[in-house]
Structure 1
Amino acid sequence: MLGVRHHGPGSARAVLAALDAGRPKAVLIEGPPEADGLVGLAAEEGMRPPVALLAHAVDDPGRAAFWPMAEFSPEWAAIRWALAHGAEVRFIDLPAVHTLAASDPTWDDSEEYASEDAGAGLRVDPVAELARTAGHDDAERWWEDVVELRGATDPFAPFEALAEAMGALREAYGHGGHPRDLVREAHMRIRLRAAQKEFGDDVAVVCGAWHVPALRRRGTVTADRALLKGLPKVKAELTWVPWTHRRLARRSGYGAGIEAPGWYAHLFTAPDRPVERWMTKVAGLLRAEDLPVSSAHVIEAVRLADTLAALRGRPLAGLGETTDAIRAVMGDGSDAALDLVRDRLVVGDVLGTVPAAAPAVPLQRDLERLQRSLRLKPEAQERELDLDLRKDNDAARSRLLHRLRLLGVTWGDPVAGRGSTGTFRESWRLRWEPELHVQIAEAGVWGTTVEAAATAWAESQAAAADDLAAITSLAERCLLAGLTDALPAVLHALADRAALDTDVAHLAQALPALARALRYGDVRATDTTALREVAAGLAERICVGLPPACAALDADAAAEMRERLDGVHTAIALLTDRGDLADRWAGVLRRLAGRERVPGVLRGRAVRLLLDEGRFAVDEAARLMGLALSPGAPPADAAGWVEGFVGGASGGGLLLVHDERLLGLVDDWLGGVSADAFTDVLPLLRRTFAAYEPGVRRTLGELVARGPAGPGGPAAAAAATPGFAPEPDERRADAVLPLLHLILGTEVPA
């Protein structure tokens, strides 16, 4: 009975020593028995830990359970030993068909257990309990000292000591554990008896140390079978999948996780002089990040770690001592370098691999083929990928990532790219997580290839969608993913929903997504003719229905409609081949600008949009502003007009800086607002001007501080402010022309 703690290098070495000494004919391992047929893959050349056994329900792939194993896991060490020495390998835990049928399937056997007499809510950590009994408050450090960092002359001594300690704990907590543990242990005993009938006592069992007392307890087959009778079950499929060190860490949420998988892997692979080798790794990492670390730093850090271990009474410098030494010697007392070491080495981004012979759903196989052909390798470490969609391979990568997002496989997320913001540039943040295998299995119900599955999913969503904005978003995503076969169904559904929807706000919310999608036709070589017709029809209906829909709105509805107004304006600008539509939209904005029943924020915004498009002269904008800010206008409505005209990040602040007439109008109106009304409009104005750049706010403050428009007012303030003058100085302006020609690479005129 080799009772271990999962994922411990000392436990793994002890298991190997015990197996070498005992030479069993059969090795029984805690794990799902359905995986017996997969165990031979562990000896394949393409199998590199960390890996995990994945079980998922055939009818509900999202219901899944994992059994992770690292190179330093005792179970993995036992499997590899058995395969190398011709011993039989069998898994003896509760079958996955029952585990997946439970209401809460877990990834693995957790290191915490509940006692029967303590109540179902209380959890007991055996390692923490043993450490506390030994007088230690740090369970991880105690375990390292007594197991991971010590050798043993008798290969079976550590297991006997742990079994005795776990027996005492189970005695103290009611001879058992969680009810699920009792069922699991009953199945383990049944499998153990079957192996003993076949191989006699020449059998080794590798399992969590907590279970050893239960497996040694005498019982009857009848009693064990009674515990297993009537358990729910589902049809399950199992395979090997890659795992990561990061997913073995406790902070990832894994029940049987460890604090430092990278450190444990180092201890297992470097049993001789581990501290020296570790410090050398750290030095290499820091040098790669351009930090000044020399051989002298390595020597001094090793000496300090060994000295700290001696002072603290530890058999060998552990993670705590090496961390303190790195901070003091290589990091000059700072945690900046230490954070890098923790992330890259203590935890690490190691990603395992599995051989092609491992079972997989067809969708997984197609994805692996695409990853190879597109040279898009899955990596555990997060990285950014910049794509130029004018290149065939980058465009294909983009389509793959967008199709996976449609299917709910979140390998990558779009991010704001570096450099050009054109539609031919795209940036992604990628990280491969083990859970993606479950997402792929779930998506497999839609098809056997990524393209077919994404197409089927999109068509299903189009048929079920009853929200216009949702289906326009779906059309945009289909274009990004290059799903030409799905577009007819999506556009048909879009046309139907648009024809039935009479809410102008819904139409205005839907149009921007369609207009954005039209831009993809050029760079992605996608035919958007049908989409353009739908978008144009939608824009026509908005032009008809928007003016009445903007009348008599409250403040919240007006603010929401302002966003819709901006979105529609941008969308119509993208429909570049419809000049008549642009003229019609300008007419809509003129009607909004002149209607008194339209809220001030919308009237002000309409004036600003017309001014920016060159369809209003500054004099006309000033006239409308004067009307909106006249003494007879309600202060709240006037404040809304100001927000619509100069609010947000649309350059309204610079407009006021450079046009003293507009600034004077705002200044005069604000000076005439009564004290009571001023209290009401102040929050709105603060929100408007807070969006300006600090330099713009400072300049505006200087201008209005010098008084109202007129002599000594904003115009005079502009003249007195550095950088502004009533008239341009042509001589000073001409002085910069030679420099501009040098920058532009043009010839200076004679």
Structure 2
Amino acid sequence: MTEDAAAAGGGGPWLLGVRHHGPGSARAVRAALEAARPRIVLIEGPPEADPLIPLAAETDMRPPVALLAHAVDEPGRSAFWPLAEFSPEWVALRWALEHGVPARFIDLPAAHSLARGSTVPDPADPAAPGDADTGGAAAGGPAGRDAQEQRAPADVRVDPLAVLAGTAGYDDPERWWEDVVEHRGAKGGDAFAPFAALEEAMAMLREAYGGGGQDRDLVREAHMRLQLRAARRETGDDVAVVCGAWHVPALRRKPAVAADRALLKGLPKVRADLTWVPWTHRRLARGGGYGAGIEAPGWYGHLFAAPDRPVERWLTRVAGLLREEDRIVSPAHVIEAVRLADTLAALRGRPLPGLRETTDAARAVMCDGSDVPLALVRDRLVVGEALGEVPRTAPAVPLQRDLDRLQRRLRLRPEAEDRELELDLRKDIDAERSRLLHRLRLLGVDWGEPAASRVGTGTFRETWRLRWEPELAVRVAEAGVWGTTVIAAANGRAEADAAAAQALAEVTALAERCLQAGLTEALSAVMRALADRAALEADVGRLAQALPALVRSLRYGDVRGTDTGALAEVAAGLADRVFVGLPPACAALAPDAADEMRRRLDAVHGAVGLLADVTDVPAGRAAPAARRGDGLRPRWQEVLRVLSARDAVPGQVRGRAVRLLLDDGRMGQDEAARLMGLALSPGTPPQDAAAWIEGFVGGGGGGMLLVHDERLLSLVDGWLTGVPAQAFTDVLPLLRRTFAAYEPGVRRTLGELVRRGPERRPGAGPAARTGLPGFAAGLDDERADAVVPVARLLLGLDGAPDAADGDRDDSDTGLVGVGT
């Protein structure tokens, strides 16, 4: 052991090198502090957080929590320093507060870490070797945070744990660390021995690798040395320093003060604010994107909370979780799992069973060898769903305080796990909850996401999936520029978005969101922007795209008590322009553009129906007939009739227009059959005819239309059987796309109808008995057999069976073979 390393236990200053989020390190720090009884405790972390340290002693402060730093002028530039109950830095903070000992953070100030245009490598980079998931990680250092900006990785990175584990003959650094630290008992022995040994190892690594390719550490360590010198001038050597083990050899060095100050001279800085925010175990895990995280925060928390008999207690918790999920797990399973874990540890040469051994034992004994229930164990226990709490007295931006007040009043507590919330907007409290969640989404604070309701349908029902993530605190800070309350900020953001919107569809979508959020103040500005964009928009396709979202917003008037009169007038005017411009806009379209126009035709059709239901003339006012609800549908139906009869309109659009008129009862079946016959006549190119069929019977309900109207089915079947062989390959993809969208039962029924023909259908009328084109009294085996090879090729089946082998399902031939 080197002389400097020996000094770690002989007297102050005590340099306690730790691993971030290590329960073994946390227990060792507590034991060392009890033995040393220092007069001051220095911790790796941003010095601006010193005024926040007393809050760690509050009764309503519950880890995991994090220090949040953000630039005052640009809240999006932010950083986190997470602390769990088993973090050595948290243990040091609590020890100092409990014993009345001053505690300070000594890392590079957050003002420098958040600054732009740094002339030295940014010390906030979580990729630093001392701050990666190694012995040098510390909750107070930049390793313990989620940097909001992506930074270029260093060319050289050293993982101290990996080097030490490899030297000891381990292929897994995590397993080596557990064996030498986490499984080490806290009773008896020299409290400073583990820190001396770790310091000696890090000193040798730094001698071999220098700074590990991270020059930013030189700046951070210079600042920490200056802070250590200042503390020693106050209290002598009765100083304890809790920092990443990677930094300990550098802090032990004694370069000139002028040299350290020279490294810090000229660093850029910004104004920074800091506060405490709740954190989660899930965000501590590596899978959550946290660069210096740990794989199993739930497991580490268990090791810290249950140092005695940890394996037995852990497997008991696993059994309890599986029993809650209705799996048969008895106390005998727990006993056998403990024995198996002990046996595996002995076979693998480990002092105690670790997470791998307990997981293997649980899989074999409690999960019947299946990884499916084991995934639940990992999610709920190994990672965990703990969400911390911070005192209400913690500093916060005004918007955060207003949000906290609303959460308490509406009984919407932030939770780390997914939670489904069913709202009935007819209830006042649910309506307020809905408005709050919609306002937060408009501000970019996606606490809740709309989900499909499982209770029922109706505009008065909403379903949300809630999940609070620590990053949302940053989003709230960012949104604070729009206002000091949630409603004021949402109104300000909506008005700004309306002024910046370029496309008409953006403004209509914003109007819908304002109605959902109950932003009556912003809605007037959005409506002005909407009227301006609509007046300048000349593209009918964009008008047709914007109308459905605008009309959809009208339905929120009744259930949310919002005045939508002005919105209805703008929507009616927009509909007028769509009616006038749609027929010319549908002429001579390319196939892709025709498909898009067909979808817009469906959307406008639904919007007109809804608009006609809600459009009304205010009392005491006169309005042209075109604005009245009873005049919209007839005018729209005339537009559809024009589209259905124009040869210049693509087949998809003409067919869809006929279908919409037929569904609304504005066109008789005879007329629809006549138009279909014209579209499928021999003089029509097969591609155009196939496009007409797709427009007419494609989408929802098209299959049932053919099932219930055999005249239409016979026309389609007659046309299909008459398509020339050289053209069939060209129209096949289009037809397959049309019929493949039908439900399997509908395709089966269509196939049986084609097979049996109208004469054999039960209850067939006189027309059926006389025969219809395309049907015959029996199945034509020769023609049916010819379809089988093509059908098998489409289905990807190996080989084509001989038609004579009889292995054929007659219902899959003919028309339905195209859609199989």
What range is the shorter-chain TM-score in?
Answer: over 0.9
C-alpha distance in 2 between matches for 1:174 and 1:465: 53
Q: How do 1:563-574 residues align onto structure 2 when only pairs under 5 Å count?
A: 563-574=599-610
* 2:103 match: secondary structure: strand
Alignment partner, residue 722 of structure 1 = none
Contact 1:656 1:663 in 2 (8 A): yes
- Identity percentage over the alignment? 75
Q: 1:319 to 1:595 in 2, by over 3 A?
A: same
Alignment partner, residue 132 of structure 2 = 110
* 2:521 match: secondary structure: coil
Contact 2:157 2:213 in 1 (8 A): no
Q: CA deviation at 1:107?
A: 6.3
- Equivalent of residue 51 in structure 1, options 57, 62, 65: 65
C-alpha distance in 1 between matches for 2:726 and 2:64: 69
C-alpha distance in 2 between matches for 1:13 and 1:706: 81
Q: 1:292 to 1:593 in 2, by over 3 A?
A: same
- Equivalent of residue 349 in structure 1, options 385, 389, 395: 385
* 1:502 match: secondary structure: coil
Matched, 1:638 2:709: no
Alignment partner, residue 737 of structure 1 = none
C-alpha distance in 1 between matches for 2:85 and 2:254: 34
1:589-638: CA deviation from partner (whole Å, max 9, x where unpaired): 00000000000100000000000000011111000000001111121111
C-alpha distance in 1 between matches for 2:488 and 2:210: 55
Contact 2:65 2:82 in 1 (8 A): yes
Matched, 1:378 2:414: yes
Alignment partner, residue 27 of structure 2 = 13
Matched, 1:628 2:679: yes
- Equivalent of residue 239 in structure 1, options 267, 275, 283: 275
C-alpha distance in 1 between matches for 2:348 and 2:533: 73
Equivalent position amino acid for 1:189 in 2 = R
Q: How do 1:394-413 residues align onto structure 2 when only pairs under 5 Å count?
A: 394-413=430-449
- Equivalent of residue 514 in structure 2, options 478, 496, 501: 478
Once structures 1 and 2 are overlaid, which stretch shifts more, 677-686 or 523-532? 677-686
Alignment partner, residue 186 of structure 1 = 222
Matched, 1:688 2:738: yes
Alignment partner, residue 37 of structure 1 = 51
Equivalent position amino acid for 2:333 in 1 = H
- Equivalent of residue 204 in structure 1, options 240, 243, 247: 240
Aligned length in residues = 714
Unaligned regions of 5+ residues in structure 2, if any?
Answer: 1-14, 138-152, 616-628, 759-767, 780-820
Equivalent position amino acid for 1:586 in 2 = Q
Contact 2:655 2:693 in 1 (8 A): yes
Unaligned regions of 5+ residues in structure 1, if any?
Answer: 720-750
Alignment partner, residue 38 of structure 2 = 24
C-alpha distance in 1 between matches for 2:754 and 2:220: 79
C-alpha distance in 1 between matches for 2:778 and 2:37: 93
* 1:456 match: secondary structure: helix
Q: 1:669 to 1:280 in 2, by over 3 A?
A: same
Alignment partner, residue 375 of structure 2 = 339
C-alpha distance in 1 between matches for 2:506 and 2:444: 16
Q: 1:175 to 1:377 in 2, by over 3 A?
A: closer
Q: How do 1:276-425 residues align onto structure 2 when only pairs under 5 Å count?
A: 276-425=312-461
Q: How do 1:81-160 residues align onto structure 2 when only pairs under 5 Å count?
A: 81-102=95-116, 105-106=124-125, 109-111=131-133, 120-151=154-185, 153-160=189-196
- Equivalent of residue 488 in structure 1, options 519, 524, 534: 524
Q: 1:176 to 1:324 in 2, by over 3 A?
A: closer
Q: CA deviation at 1:311?
A: 2.0
Q: How do 1:336-735 residues align onto structure 2 when only pairs under 5 Å count?
A: 336-575=372-611, 576=613, 577=615, 578-648=629-699, 650-706=700-756, 711=771
Q: CA RMSD in A?
A: 1.8
Once structures 1 and 2 are overlaid, which stretch shifts more, 399-408 or 172-181? 172-181
Q: 1:464 to 1:37 in 2, by over 3 A?
A: same
C-alpha distance in 1 between matches for 2:21 and 2:106: 18
Contact 2:155 2:213 in 1 (8 A): no
Q: CA deviation at 1:516?
A: 0.8
C-alpha distance in 2 between matches for 1:698 and 1:538: 43
C-alpha distance in 2 between matches for 1:584 and 1:347: 61
Q: CA deviation at 1:2?
A: 0.4
Alignment partner, residue 748 of structure 1 = none
C-alpha distance in 2 between matches for 1:489 and 1:131: 64
Q: 1:338 to 1:454 in 2, by over 3 A?
A: same
C-alpha distance in 1 between matches for 2:277 and 2:154: 33
- Scaled by the length of structure 1, the TM-score of the pair is 0.93
Contact 2:511 2:527 in 1 (8 A): yes
Contact 1:67 1:107 in 2 (8 A): no
Q: CA deviation at 1:334?
A: 1.1
* 1:485 match: secondary structure: helix
* 1:566 match: secondary structure: helix
Equivalent position amino acid for 1:669 in 2 = W
* 1:486 match: secondary structure: helix
Equivalent position amino acid for 2:64 in 1 = P
Contact 2:44 2:107 in 1 (8 A): yes
Contact 2:158 2:212 in 1 (8 A): no
Q: CA deviation at 1:175?
A: 5.0
C-alpha distance in 1 between matches for 2:774 and 2:457: 37
C-alpha distance in 1 between matches for 2:255 and 2:110: 24
